[in-house]
Amino acid sequence: MAANGNGEVAMNGNGATAARKQKGILPSITTSDKHHEVCHDMSAPTVKAQTIDELHSLQKKKSAPNTPIKGIQGTFAALSEEERQKQQLQSIRKTDGLMVYVFLWNNSASLASLTRGTGPKVVKGDPANKSQTNPKVHQHHVAAPTISASDSSLKFTHVLYNLSPADKIFLLANDDLLTNDGLNFISSFDLGVATKIFLLANDDLLTNDGLNFISSFDLRVELYEQAIHYEKGSFITSTGALATLSGAKTGRAPRDKRVVKDDVTGKELWWGKGSPNIEMDEHTFLVNRERAVDYLNSLDKVFVNDQFLNWDPENRIKVRIVSARAYHSLFMHNMCIRPTPEELEEFGTPDFTIYNAGQFPCNRYTHYMTSSTSIDLNLARREMVILGTQYAGEMKKGLFSVMHYLMPKRQILSLHSGCNMGKDGDVALFFGLSGTGKTTLSTDPNRYLIGDDEHCWTETGVSNIEGGCYAKCIDLSREKEPDIWNAIKFGTVLENVVFEEHTREVDYADKSVTENTRASYPIEYIPNAKIPCVGPHPKNVILLACDAFGVLPPVSKLNLAQTMYHFISGYTALVAGTEEGVKEPRATFSACFGAAFIMMHPTKYAAMLAEKMQKHGATGWLVNTGWSGGSYGSGSRIKLAYTRKIIDAIHCGSLLKAEYRKTEVFGLEIPTEVEGVPSEILDPVNTWSNKLGYNDTLMKLAGLFKNNFETFTDHKIGKDNELTEEILAAGPNF
């Protein structure tokens, strides 16, 4: 067993570093002298492709030839990528036969990849002439790409020699779009209201026979068009969602997050071992900011979203997102709260701004950088810069980090949890790391959805921070998750899914691009969403753990000290499905079930949660949505239908009154009966045929819990000494 220094413990002793070596991925360079141990709940596997073309070929599943569908199919989708590029080239080619290089030159960023072990592809002359018998034109691979850790390494760069100087005009035309300090560039400014008229001319693009989802125009149509025209890998699926590719990164990159440490944040934030906050200085932030801004400046257009965070009107935050991709703009349109035309009119200065230049890498020789990806947070400047990752979740979770700083300063608790409400107004919170069931279980046809991922708990109740949901869609089925299934329609962004090339039907079981396929949709797409997304004080606080070891009970009732113990531990164990050969579960401890996002010490949030739960009489529960009948490999994941029954019993109050029995080692109270769930599975020991194996695994997990909690034993949780002691004693006893 070995800790890999990232809050993860691999049972087979294979840390992430070893895995990287095995896969032939270049080690990252370290320009910072400090080695940080970052606690996180999700690593970002690189995409399963060696080149951009390979990535794009993964997305579309070939099928037996059938009658081509008219409409979008005929317009552009049926073209091969090569043909499409050729057409794009030809469309900007001058009639006098001069070579045009704007399109290709835009990709020249990866010329820098000369220093990254991936050479550029040099094309002499116009690559569009490749097929002609021009003896001067030839391709030369300087080096075959062997790594796929960033978008630039997936990409070949075409270098065109001896172009006429006159053509350079094309390149210079765009740099007046974005000024370094101000935002007076507004090109596609908040593609809201104002854009509708402008669009009418283009409606023939989307109103085709197969897809009758466009009833009235809105900005999303334009974003669709922008994505489809300019972003390779954008397609409309059979239900009208926009399928996109996020590039080389298909998950968050917590190790590449940096936070500016200054006099204020140096004191206020949590730094050092276990903290997600890896420091950078103000100067380096400005270097990266300038890089991002320069990149955005070099483009024909940028997208700007002005939106809100937090449905609590008194604590609403205004955010501006500047991005280069329509995909990013539509994603944030869905995820943040959408202003009304009147609110937009009076928007004024944003409280926080994101500059997303994700297609462009950071310079990894910059101080504090350890890769070509950097997600930089500057609280004093109220800005965030993204370089070297196009995974849209970085923006959403980046803003969540900001809320984890701003809200506690106002005595408001920010929560990495889903939230829903029953007909009688009973509110439940669902905490859990990525993939444990927050979105799935808070989306419940029998209850009002308040939100699936990020909330605030104030003196008056709970509020959702966001305006949309971000559901995992691997193995999504209509039967098991009907509301999420039906939300995947026009306006929804579908990331990294694979679809059948002709019918555009998505194959949710296909992991060719990534296991972390996602759907982002506005919360109103869930029929029983509670708008505005606010509710009274929670009655139940459900801690979700996906225990791939298979030793935690499907449900246990927790006392306050146990709730705090498990909240601070933030345990889950998933199976790294993306790394080949990894068969053992890997335990992850992520404080407050979201260590990657918290800004202050975990005990600060824990103390607030304890205080609020006590004051409002909320009951804590631990629900294992993971394995039963053995660890991963021999057992199987608990049926979603059973977990739903358990959750129903919590909501309706019947489980509170059930009969309980205390387990050994973890000291958990488990019910003897839950309606609709076979009683024998309620104590995991019954489901294991290998009892010795069960005991060993249980002790192993208990040991991991103890080890992890050691860092917290010298901390006080709130002002209550007695509670602190109870919490320390609430872990496994052996």
Ligand X SMILES: C=C(OP(=O)(O)O)C(=O)O
Out of 439, 514, 631, 643, which one is annotated catalytic?
439
How far is Cα 573 from Cα 269, in angstroms, rounded to an integer? 27
How far is Cα 428 from Cα 537, in angstroms, rounded to an integer? 9
How far is Cα 151 from Cα 183, in angstroms, rounded to an integer? 27
Of residues 456, 724, 428, the one with CA closest to residue 568: 724
Per-residue contact flags (x/-) with ligand X for residues 229 to 258, judged by CB under 6 A? -----------------------x------
Considering the rule CB under 5 A, would residue 252 count as an interface residue with Mn ion? no
Considering the rule CB under 6 A, would residue 7 count as an interface residue with ligand X? no
Known active-site residue 382 = no
553 binds, among ligand X, Mn ion, ligand ADP, none (CB under 5 to 8 A by kind): none
Query: Smallest distance from the beta carbon of 615 to ligand X, in angstroms?
Result: 27
Considering the rule CB under 6 A, would residue 439 count as an interface residue with ligand X? yes
Element (H, E) at 418: strand 417-421
196 binds, among Ca ion, ligand ADP, ligand X, none (CB under 5 to 8 A by kind): none
Residues sharing a CB contact under 8 Å with residue 137, sequence separation 6 or more, in sequence order: 123, 124, 125, 126, 127, 129, 130
Residues sharing a CB contact under 8 Å with residue 220, sequence separation 6 or more, in sequence order: 330, 333, 490, 491
Binding residues for ligand X, rule CB under 6 A, total 10
How far is Cα 683 from Cα 212, in angstroms, rounded to an integer? 51
575 binds, among ligand X, ligand ADP, Ca ion, none (CB under 5 to 8 A by kind): none
For ligand X, the closer CB: 439 or 517: 439
How far is Cα 667 from Cα 647, in angstroms, rounded to an integer? 21
CB 319 within 8 A of CB 350: yes
For Ca ion, the closer CB: 104 or 304: 304
Residues sharing a CB contact under 8 Å with residue 251, sequence separation 6 or more, in sequence order: 42, 43, 44, 45, 391, 393, 514, 516
Residue 567, both tokens: 């909240």
How far is Cα 557 from Cα 566, in angstroms, rounded to an integer? 12
Considering the rule CB under 5 A, would residue 416 count as an interface residue with Mn ion? no
397 binds, among Ca ion, ligand X, Mn ion, none (CB under 5 to 8 A by kind): ligand X
Known active-site residue 662 = no
Element (H, E) at 522: strand 518-522
Out of 255, 289, 338, 438, which one is annotated catalytic?
438
Chain positions 104 to 143 lying near ligand X, rule: CB under 6 A, are none
Residues that bind ligand ADP (CB under 6 A): 432, 434-441, 471-472, 474, 481, 625, 637-638, 640, 643
Query: Smallest distance from the beta carbon of 470 to Mn ion, in angstroms?
Result: 6
Known active-site residue 439 = yes
Known active-site residue 397 = yes
Query: Smallest distance from the beta carbon of 644 to Mn ion, in angstroms?
Result: 16
For ligand X, the closer CB: 154 or 473: 473
For ligand ADP, the closer CB: 295 or 431: 431
Considering the rule CB under 6 A, would residue 631 count as an interface residue with ligand X? no
Known active-site residue 438 = yes
DSSP output for 233-255? T-EE-TTS-EEE--TTB-S--GG
For ligand ADP, the closer CB: 438 or 504: 438
How far is Cα 517 from Cα 250, in angstroms, rounded to an integer? 8
For Ca ion, the closer CB: 221 or 591: 221
Known active-site residue 453 = yes
CB count within 10 Å of CB 95 equals: 5
Q: Which of 36, 291, 318, 438 binds Mn ion (CB under 5 A)?
A: 438
How far is Cα 258 from Cα 280, in angstroms, rounded to an integer? 6
Residue 709, both tokens: 């909690």
For Ca ion, the closer CB: 111 or 194: 194
Stretch of 155-163, 174-182, 246-254, 433-441 contacting Mn ion, by CB under 5 A: 433-441
Residues carrying an active site annotation? 252, 397, 416, 434, 438-439, 453, 518
Residues at the interface with ligand X (CB under 6 A): 42, 252, 393, 396-397, 434, 438-439, 453, 470
